[in-house]
């Protein structure tokens, strides 16, 4: 009984630490802050400082691999290259528009990761030149270089979709920060991460939509026609919703009842859990 009490107490302390991780300064073993955020006279530096002050989120432009390789319980295989100083203001502006301006400070304080790394390039275990990535405590906003910045309106919209997809699918959902009803997943329960290499229907127009997905998992390096994981399913829906208006979504889902059902379940779940209308983000494009 005494050991059981100790385990429960230890678990409670861990949960409390996670719940408060943005409220206290991050410190190293020597007691010095891991990150130092100072205000500045230029708008970029002031915005980074103000964001940290209001939300506890670090927008990191200067870092080393030790800042992102440790991934809570394992080592991340992500490899980041930093944004060139000459385009940093445009890079911060692009991520501000695509991600930070979309949500209130209270939402960012509760649902954003502790760290958002800005990178010129991101290589993961499955691909290179990835536009966005994640770890257990961070997101990566990549693809920020002199070749991509400043972004056109079309490119900025696509980037918003990728970043928000990563936030909801691979950070909020995978870390169980909100509950998504099983009804969203149950129509596809038997086909998640299944290979369709021998399926003669796989290339038919609308086939992947008819079984409840927006696209095959383009990140898979073995099979060209692999159904997405649950997290990628959530991410794909968010990417579509945040880059399309309601009328555009209705047109795309016409004739695909499973897509429509999952769309409605996800919108309601997100609105109920945290008051966010994902479709309003798409309507505001």
> pLDDT, tens digit, for every residue of 207-262?
999 999 999 998 888 888 999 999 999 999 999 999 999 999 999 999 999 999 99
Strands 79-82 and 115-123, bridge-based pairing: antiparallel
The predicted pLDDT at position 6 comes to 38
Distance from the Cα of residue 285 to its chain's centroid: 19
| Residue corresponding to tokens 């020597």 | 30
Q: What whole-number distance in Å separates Cα of residue 88 and Cα of residue 83?
A: 6
Q: What whole-number distance in Å separates Cα of residue 189 and Cα of residue 192?
A: 6
Q: What whole-number distance in Å separates Cα of residue 55 and Cα of residue 35?
A: 15
Q: ∠ CA(258), CA(262), CA(267), 5° rounding?
A: 150
Q: Answer with the residue of higher pLDDT: 11 or 172.
A: 172
The pLDDT of residue 5 is above 70: no
């Amino acid at each position: 009984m005494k050991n059981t009490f100790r385990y429960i107490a230890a678990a409670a302390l861990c949960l409390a630490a996670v719940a408060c991780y943005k409220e206290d300064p991050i410190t190293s073993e020597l007691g010095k802050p891991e990150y130092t955020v100072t205000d500045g006279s230029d708008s970029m530096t002031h915005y980074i400082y103000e964001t940290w002050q209001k939300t506890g989120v670090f927008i990191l432009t200067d870092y080393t691999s030790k800042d992102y390789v440790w991934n809570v319980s394992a080592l991340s295989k992500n490899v980041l290259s930093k944004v060139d100083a000459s385009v940093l203001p445009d890079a911060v502006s692009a991520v501000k528009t695509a991600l930070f301006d979309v949500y209130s400070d209270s939402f960012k304080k509760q649902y954003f990761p502790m760290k958002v790394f800005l990178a010129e390039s991101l290589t993961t275990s499955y691909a290179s030149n990835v536009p966005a990535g994640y770890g257990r405590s961070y997101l990566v906003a990549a693809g920020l270089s002199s070749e991509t910045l400043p972004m056109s309106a079309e490119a900025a919209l696509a980037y918003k979709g990728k970043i928000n997809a990563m936030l909801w699918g691979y950070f909020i959902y995978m870390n169980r920060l909100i509950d998504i009803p099983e009804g969203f997943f149950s129509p596809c329960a038997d086909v998640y991460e299944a290979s369709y290499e021998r399926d003669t229907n796989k290339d038919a127009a609308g086939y992947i939509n008819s079984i409840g997905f927006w696209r095959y998992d383009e990140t898979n390096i073995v099979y060209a026609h692999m159904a997405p994981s649950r997290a990628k399913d959530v991410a794909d829906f968010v990417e579509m919703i945040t880059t399309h208006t309601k009328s555009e979504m209705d047109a795309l889902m016409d004739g695909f009842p499973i897509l429509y059902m999952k769309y409605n379940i996800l919108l309601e779940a997100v609105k109920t859990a945290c008051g966010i209308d994902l479709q309003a983000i798409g309507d505001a494009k």
